[in-house]
Structure 1
């Protein structure tokens, strides 16, 4: 029995030569040469078929203020053609959904991974009350294409504004905060997701066949994403994740906006505490020729300290991974990762440092009953 659910729709990109769907998602993971595909994608010429992802919409004059009141990002000032991302948190601040957003002046477009769509749409529908908003699932009409460049594509624009989500990960957004120190690899991350009519996919396939466009698989996109330290909901998030652990305050959280569910935890951890876990990028020893899977145990000596969330073989960096480890893990320690029955050595590249948080720098108050002695003159 497969570990993956049957895809709801098989992409015509799977008819291209060499296309392989290793994940059972209905889109190509690669076309036979993942490393070459990475290079083509990094050089901003290739497109990635993401038609397995979902497209939801919110229409109505209250769409921005309503979603603003429910999620972590400030959205009331989002202008037509602008992009954003936001998180839906539970009451304890744990991440329940991550949503990529683009507004066209009439409709707010929500891009999410397919497994998220039904639950997110249902929860939003339950929170409408008397507000002027209408929800819909538009996945059957529109497909998502990812790229690091600006290839000529038949972009959907039902309200006159081309539907493109530009990933804000390149910089810290207003109201956000970055825990990572020094030069950030996300500065060169020009990823965008473009919506095209689903019935236009066969013509895009024909253009790839003719050589007018080049295609890269999802494995190539994932390798470049890992190298940019870019978290993704379906890989880096588990039932305990809070945004601080993934440095997601950079782009998905506005620390000065009004009340929303989970805000108390966001503020308390950022100002007074520390996230209990932290994201690292691992440089893996490639001599064993194995790559750890998601969930692989990360150890420091004989102590388990975390787990791999994503892994890939990068065309320049070699085998790499993102992992979430305990905050107390020594940043200078060489870790090991379990993969195919062997322990693979892994060097840490710190994304979220152990000292992340405590931004308010509140001085410690002496405990009750403590005696303060005054020196005698």
Structure 2
């Protein structure tokens, strides 16, 4: 499919809040932090505050065939998805590489999904091209709805007109954009995207465009079960999923890294990962995907490494010492 230009989501009005520092790159349009990164992380970890994710795309699918139709296109089993039950799914290429990640919930009339910034245009174009004779309608609702994240344990109320996606990590609200500011004012404190990302890395949760590249397959990231259902009908890319499942040999695996806290700078995305015993001139065995500063763990990261890297090997992320934890078994 040809590239489809996606307009930016409306810039968040919460960027005008005191202390707000705008995020850059993929998360442009929301706040990186509001002046105290570690305090914001600690608040989220304790179940208070909220995260503005209004830069994410919102896609809605309506119609009586919406679940059976989506079931044919995505990696998740959704034909009998109960209203209010959250799930996540992927859309793969014909070679089984990850193209889209969807975070879904059905409210009984509409399937709502939030997706990575910059991906909704191509996703909607693909979905619309696959409608054929099915009774479904696909709509980009990003200009009308904003995503807000409430951490696990939050007692913040759900306002009228919002759709809730309940997960073990908290609640995602699809909130009418006109309600974003008043809801944030009533249910703060605000936490920026850097705090949210640090907790995501701690939880070993991969993110499209961060832990993925043009050749990433679901097994490499540990997405079998959470986003890929192995007992469902055919979908694009299923042959690769079945082959790797049967052979058990994905070429790479996701690892979690505890980084040396004495270094001032974090290793950025793409930083080579090598065996510590080989030094900086050793063979590249992988690369850092996301790094973050955690309020309790210190500097941490996720990385993709070759499958045969020993699970107990001491690593170097660039010139930073790194101890690994297994996320995906080799």
TM-score between both structures, scaled by the size of structure 2:
0.92
Alignment partners' CA distance in 1, 2:230 and 2:130 = 23
Alignment partners' CA distance in 2, 1:66 and 1:202 = 35
Alignment-derived partner of residue 345 in structure 1: 321
Query: Relative to 1, partners in 2 of residues 1:337 and 1:150: Cα closer, same or farther, differing over 3 Å?
Result: same
Q: Does 1:163 align with 2:138?
A: no
Alignment-derived partner of residue 22 in structure 1: 23
SS in 2 for 1:264: helix
Q: What is the CA distance between 1:213 and its match in structure 2?
A: 2.1
Q: What is the CA distance between 1:15 and its match in structure 2?
A: 1.2
Residues 213-228 of structure 1 mapped to structure 2, 5 A cutoff: 213-228=188-203
SS in 2 for 1:64: helix
Q: What is the CA distance between 1:29 and its match in structure 2?
A: 0.7
Deviations 1:201-236 (A, max 9, x none): 2213433xxxx5211101001101111111111311
Residues 91-240 of structure 1 mapped to structure 2, 5 A cutoff: 91-148=94-151, 149-153=153-157, 155=159, 157=161, 162-167=162-167, 170=168, 190-207=169-186, 213-240=188-215
Alignment partners' CA distance in 1, 2:245 and 2:160 = 39
Alignment partners' CA distance in 2, 1:213 and 1:77 = 36
Alpha carbons 2:165, 2:172 under 8 Å: kept: yes
Alignment partners' CA distance in 2, 1:218 and 1:288 = 23
Alignment partners' CA distance in 2, 1:94 and 1:8 = 26
Query: Relative to 1, partners in 2 of residues 1:94 and 1:232: Cα closer, same or farther, differing over 3 Å?
Result: same
Alpha carbons 1:334, 1:347 under 8 Å: kept: yes
Alpha carbons 2:48, 2:189 under 8 Å: kept: yes
Alpha carbons 1:156, 1:195 under 8 Å: kept: no
Alignment partners' CA distance in 1, 2:158 and 2:228 = 32
Q: What is the CA distance between 1:273 and its match in structure 2?
A: 3.5
Alignment-derived partner of residue 3 in structure 2: none
Deviations 1:155-203 (A, max 9, x none): 454xxxx511223xx5xxxxxxxxxxxxxxxxxxx23211111011221
Alignment partners' CA distance in 2, 1:154 and 1:74 = 27
Alpha carbons 1:47, 1:214 under 8 Å: kept: yes
Alignment-derived partner of residue 296 in structure 1: 271
Alignment partners' CA distance in 1, 2:284 and 2:205 = 24
Alpha carbons 1:59, 1:108 under 8 Å: kept: yes
Alpha carbons 2:9, 2:54 under 8 Å: kept: no
Alpha carbons 2:92, 2:100 under 8 Å: kept: yes
Q: What is the CA distance between 1:141 and its match in structure 2?
A: 0.9
Q: How many pairs were matched up?
A: 317
Consecutive unaligned residues in structure 1, runs of 5 or more = 171-189, 355-377
Alpha carbon RMSD of aligned pairs, Å?
Answer: 1.6
SS in 2 for 1:252: coil
Alignment partners' CA distance in 1, 2:41 and 2:147 = 19
Alignment partners' CA distance in 2, 1:287 and 1:28 = 27
**319, 334, 339: which one pairs with 2:314?**
334
Q: What is the CA distance between 1:34 and its match in structure 2?
A: 0.6
Q: Does 1:13 align with 2:14?
A: yes
Alpha carbons 1:155, 1:197 under 8 Å: kept: no
Q: What is the CA distance between 1:250 and its match in structure 2?
A: 2.9
Alignment-derived partner of residue 293 in structure 2: 313
Which of the pair has more CA radius of gyration? Answer: 1
Alignment partners' CA distance in 2, 1:191 and 1:299 = 35
Query: Relative to 1, partners in 2 of residues 1:8 and 1:83: Cα closer, same or farther, differing over 3 Å?
Result: closer
Q: What is the CA distance between 1:16 and its match in structure 2?
A: 1.1
Consecutive unaligned residues in structure 2, runs of 5 or more = 1-5
